[in-house]
Copies of this chain bind each other. A is one copy, B any other.
Amino acid sequence: MSLIVVGSVAYDGVETPHGKVDRMLGGAATYIALAASYFTPSRIVAVVGDDFDQADIDLLASRQIDLSGLERVAGGKTFFWAGVYSDDMNDRTTLRTDLNVFADFNPKLPASYRTEPYLFLGNIQPALQRSVRHQMNGVKLTGGDTMNYWIRDFRSELLETLKEWDFLLINDSEARMLSGEYNLRAAAARIQAMGPRTLVIKRGEYGALLFHGGKHFMAPGYLLESVFDPTGAGDSFAGGFIGYLAGRGLDLNEGPIEFAELRKAVIYGSVMGSFCCERYGVERFRTLTRQEIDARYTEFKDCTDF
């Protein structure tokens, strides 16, 4: 039983106080699938140009990620983003966004994907997210994320899309924009009324909040000894979260997800986000093992229990 991940596969140029990388593998679907792959088989739906490197295919394949849904456009170029981080790495400025083949991305699921039970819809136009949801046949758990652009300029389309989601992962400013409420408990209640019974509000280094039905859970951020590059941390969080749930084989037809499982999923999300920050881009996933993940989960528990 595997997880379908839809979103961008890209190249990034990143500058942090630690140095500069002109071109490295990136994209939301890349990070989500890599992080999720430690918990459950993952399958990507994305588009790249014919400039996409075999070495990057090999990295994804080394994590047993199914690439049947990775469309390659002949003569096209892969989505490229470049940005520079502030000294404290809490802010970043986009230097360049070349959508390239991603501008015409119209995700079509391979037949082999359609009966899988778990679906994560990365940040793309809400109508496309909705179209993918409708291509699935018997999906058990659907959710994803979105961003300020869709919240502001595609609101009704986004609301139509969210109606069909079981969970939503967004950051605090997006939650405030989507709900019109500053207080996050009030914001969460409004967003849950839009459809997703489960809401995760990501707060970067400050951790995450989980809302599920009428309950909530507060997780602090894992305290890293040094943050090397925060690129992809939020998507790695998402991958850890949905990967854990999918790996547990949760079936909403057999009853609601247990809150305890969702809490664990949030912590695994934090753990995956924290590992991501330890190296540039996806580098940490080249060596990361499930043993390291479980050790950090245990350490997280030791550092938060009282």
Whole-angstrom CA separation of A306 from B244 in the bound complex:
14
The reply to whether B218 and A185 contact each other, CB–CB distance below 8 Å, is no
Interface residues of A in 174-194 (CB under 8 A from B): 182-186
Which residues of the other chain, B, contact A183 by a CB distance below 8 angstroms? 224-227
Binding site for B on A (CB under 8 A): 87-88, 182-186, 203, 206-207, 209, 216-227, 260, 263-264, 266-267, 301, 303-306
Which residues of the other chain, B, contact A306 by a CB distance below 8 angstroms? 217, 219, 260, 263-264, 266-267, 301, 304
A-B pairs with beta carbons under 8 Å apart, 30 shown: A87-B182, A183-B224, A183-B225, A183-B226, A183-B227, A185-B225, A186-B225, A186-B226, A203-B206, A206-B207, A206-B220, A207-B207, A207-B220, A216-B303, A217-B303, A217-B304, A217-B306, A218-B223, A218-B303, A218-B304, A219-B304, A219-B306, A220-B220, A264-B306, A266-B306, A267-B306, A301-B306, A304-B304, A304-B306, A305-B305
The reply to whether B260 and A223 contact each other, CB–CB distance below 8 Å, is no
Which residues of the other chain, B, contact A226 by a CB distance below 8 angstroms? 183, 186
Shortest Cβ distance from residue A42 to the other chain B in the assembled complex, whole angstroms? 24
Which residues of the other chain, B, contact A209 by a CB distance below 8 angstroms? 223
Measured CB to CB, the nearest residue on chain B to A261 is: B306
Whole-angstrom CA separation of A305 from B226 in the bound complex:
26
Measured CB to CB, the nearest residue on chain B to A221 is: B218
Which residues of the other chain, B, contact A217 by a CB distance below 8 angstroms? 303-304, 306
Which residues of the other chain, B, contact A203 by a CB distance below 8 angstroms? 206
Which residues of the other chain, B, contact A305 by a CB distance below 8 angstroms? 263, 305
Whole-angstrom CA separation of A304 from B2 in the bound complex:
29
The reply to whether B223 and A185 contact each other, CB–CB distance below 8 Å, is yes
